[in-house]
Structure 1
């Protein structure tokens, strides 16, 4: 039934799903911009400035949407989840405050110089501003992921009269799952930005853009993707081992393991059945799950039946994990194939360009799938072992939450469509070349 609890969960899921799309791009895109600007400063080749000017516009648009959706999301701690701040606000509040003070203010201050100060400040100051914005985006992710990780694996606190108080801020910030979650997210952002740059650049080339900028941007993005994709798989494996240690019920749901057993196969595909507590139509690889999680083909994995009433809903976690892994493997394949081609040939074949356009927002799909595994996999807890979701939900009438949910979904759908259309409009517009300027450019490089 769509009661206040379920509607509030749906509303927060809608808000976080929309919001995370934009930081996932900007965290790494800021570093790409810093690279493009530094390359221009070192070489004075105008093509790098052209790349920078094109992508800084996309960064500004993406950053703006990330900020406004983040503000909307934070309001829900008070409107939909008052019990969260009442019980763990002594920890969540400072961490969110640190993010604003040390990261957001830094980004907002130097973003103005980055966007509008190229001709108003010395080149070194402008480049430094770009790097500071990149540092700010990463620092922002640091604090947000520290809080999120603490909610998954809480540490460094004690409960007094039902309220959490920090006893060791170092343990709170660097809780057991934080390092893995932080680097996993940074690499997810790197891949999301890489495939966005590659996809938009490929789209420009398919539209007949013969300038050097999209070709060089494509080469940089594909090289980054080819390097980061396998590294993400490695860090993801370490993250999985950490989750296996601290949240075995989540891993059991990810793997679809119902009974505690040894020599557990890896389930490639199945339809988990929570009524019979078995997997229907299972396709498995013998011993693989035990080997991956315990590095022993005879290793033991705790089943969901060990956590009756304390484990997450199985299907969304099970399928979300497979979507994330499947997209990751596809990214590795596409990145390696196209990177190999782009370093050997001046242009990519049409089918590879089309494949890259299709993969433009593949990072979004993988990131959302991963976040659903992480967040739904924590159920029924909001803070693992400390605060259950149902204990924190608002007492507002159901119809109030339903009204705002419909409003959010309608607005987000319009904004998302507008954002994607704007990106491709900017790409099409950039393919138009000023014939006069080309005619008067002897080396053909000034209008890159």
Structure 2
């Protein structure tokens, strides 16, 4: 348990928390924009109730994402100072663009979005919601650009001291893996939010509460999932081709591919196995002949570079990458299965009465978060032992003066503080979900009467299920 390992554990712990909240708010911001658009177009009060219900959840999720992001950024100076010293000339400006172009815009319009329901016109409030949604996407653009550059570095020169200098900002920002990874991440965020909306809606229908709101939310969630999930699978295939081109060792770890395929036999698809790095083979392997070639190379006899093509010290930990990828793919096909059947049931007018489908959506409520983390682990662990792929090893990036005891103390502190803060936040979100989208009083018009801001984080009054049904 040296400083390097502890620093990796600490960063992995912090980023695992952080990625969940921004991903959720990326999708939730666009969902809020859609809900407010429906309210303005149809004037159905139920859409306004749905909007303010999810707005309370968005506000807290956004705040927790900001807090966890600040903590994560500090570690570049405390635990990874060598990475900052060597790659800071490139990563620093790209990440600062995210603050200057996205975060400031989000923060500005977020105030109008949260507190301006009675103080600005409806069109202005809708514009603020749309700008927050756009800001989340712009923030994703810059963060994925910076991360993708570490995977496929481009547009740089290296000084004799080993410091990266920018040579072409266009190549830096739009590095080879960036476009596909951006699309993959945005779709993952949208699908994650879609599953939460669908799962909450299904829970309400199964309980017989908030039925009107639940039907509207579930209908649109099913329609979106039926389109987005197949598109995400196609984008994931493109991402796999990019990995095979630019990071072949990672792809070999994902597939548990140790030796070159025999000529004419093609590459099997390893459905299950237990990677044994010491003996360079898979235990208990179950594989489908030639299917690996078809999926990974789009040819019947294609092959990829095996793990044994590089020295053991240049290989990532195979087991975490191998299993994380399969969990992600398995959940993806479960989403596809439920979404397709639900779309068919919706077309036939049977979705809301088909309880086993409702239970399926309820079980998938948090599947997006799990798939998101598994995809992130596949990407980041599969990059090892490199922090800037092929150029800077992770062991070279850690701060040379940081001590293992200091990192361990801060890691324990993070565990405790995160358990308290994020535990309270998740408790509040759970409480709001339990209450559901109760009727919202729009209050005085912005043009007349009192101009007092709403309190989006105020707790709703306690209602039992009977009172909720009567309100509906």
How much does 1:355 deviate? 2.5
| Other-structure match for 1:440 | none
Provide the rounded CA distance (Å) in 1 between the counterparts of 2:223 and 2:414: 38
| Structure 1 runs not aligned, ≥5 long | 435-443
| Other-structure match for 1:107 | 106
1:177 and 2:177 matched: yes
The answer to whether the Cα contact below 8 Å between 2:49 and 2:439 also exists between their aligned partners in 1 is no
| Other-structure match for 1:156 | 155
Relative to structure 2, which stretch is displaced further, 289-298 or 2-11? 289-298
How much does 1:319 deviate? 0.6
What's the CA shift string for 1:349-408, capped at 9, x where partnerless?
A: 333323222211110100000000100011001111221111111222211111111121
| Other-structure match for 1:439 | none
| Other-structure match for 2:269 | 266
What's the CA shift string for 1:241-294, capped at 9, x where partnerless?
A: 011000000000000011122511000000000111001100001011111121
The answer to whether the Cα contact below 8 Å between 1:111 and 1:130 also exists between their aligned partners in 2 is yes
How much does 1:27 deviate? 0.8
Relative to structure 2, which stretch is displaced further, 340-349 or 180-189? 340-349
| Other-structure match for 1:438 | none
Relative to the length of structure 2, the TM-score reads: 0.90
Provide the rounded CA distance (Å) in 2 between the counterparts of 1:91 and 1:432: 48
| Other-structure match for 1:36 | 35
| Other-structure match for 1:409 | 415
The answer to whether the Cα contact below 8 Å between 1:342 and 1:348 also exists between their aligned partners in 2 is no
1:127-166 aligned at under 5 Å gives the runs 127-160=126-159, 161-166=161-166
Structure 2 CA distance for partners of 1:288 and 1:166, relative to 1, 3 Å: same
| Other-structure match for 1:212 | 212
The one of 399, 403, 417 aligned to 1:397: 403
| Structure 2 runs not aligned, ≥5 long | 441-467
Relative to structure 2, which stretch is displaced further, 258-267 or 121-130? 258-267
Structure 2 CA distance for partners of 1:133 and 1:227, relative to 1, 3 Å: same
1:274-293 aligned at under 5 Å gives the runs 274-293=277-296
The answer to whether the Cα contact below 8 Å between 1:103 and 1:136 also exists between their aligned partners in 2 is yes
Provide the rounded CA distance (Å) in 2 between the counterparts of 1:417 and 1:74: 22
The answer to whether the Cα contact below 8 Å between 2:28 and 2:193 also exists between their aligned partners in 1 is yes
Relative to the length of structure 1, the TM-score reads: 0.94
Structure 2 CA distance for partners of 1:203 and 1:415, relative to 1, 3 Å: farther
Matched position secondary structure for 2:267: coil
| Other-structure match for 1:382 | 387
1:362 and 2:367 matched: yes
| Other-structure match for 2:345 | 341
Relative to structure 2, which stretch is displaced further, 8-17 or 51-60? 51-60
| Other-structure match for 1:437 | none
| Other-structure match for 2:52 | 53
What's the CA shift string for 1:310-352, capped at 9, x where partnerless?
A: 1211001111110110110111112222333244136243333
How many residues are aligned here?
438
Structure 2 CA distance for partners of 1:43 and 1:431, relative to 1, 3 Å: closer
The answer to whether the Cα contact below 8 Å between 2:46 and 2:439 also exists between their aligned partners in 1 is no
Provide the rounded CA distance (Å) in 2 between the counterparts of 1:347 and 1:430: 18
Provide the rounded CA distance (Å) in 1 between the counterparts of 2:355 and 2:203: 10
| Other-structure match for 1:298 | 301
Provide the rounded CA distance (Å) in 2 between the counterparts of 1:433 and 1:392: 53
| Other-structure match for 2:451 | none
What's the CA shift string for 1:23-62, capped at 9, x where partnerless?
A: 1111111111111111111111111111111111111111
The answer to whether the Cα contact below 8 Å between 1:51 and 1:214 also exists between their aligned partners in 2 is no
Matched position secondary structure for 2:113: helix
The answer to whether the Cα contact below 8 Å between 1:261 and 1:302 also exists between their aligned partners in 2 is no
The answer to whether the Cα contact below 8 Å between 2:7 and 2:79 also exists between their aligned partners in 1 is yes
Matched position secondary structure for 2:70: helix
The answer to whether the Cα contact below 8 Å between 1:204 and 1:427 also exists between their aligned partners in 2 is no
Matched position secondary structure for 2:314: coil
What's the CA shift string for 1:419-447, capped at 9, x where partnerless?
A: 4433332122237789xxxxxxxxx9996
1:314 and 2:313 matched: no
Provide the rounded CA distance (Å) in 2 between the counterparts of 1:446 and 1:148: 51
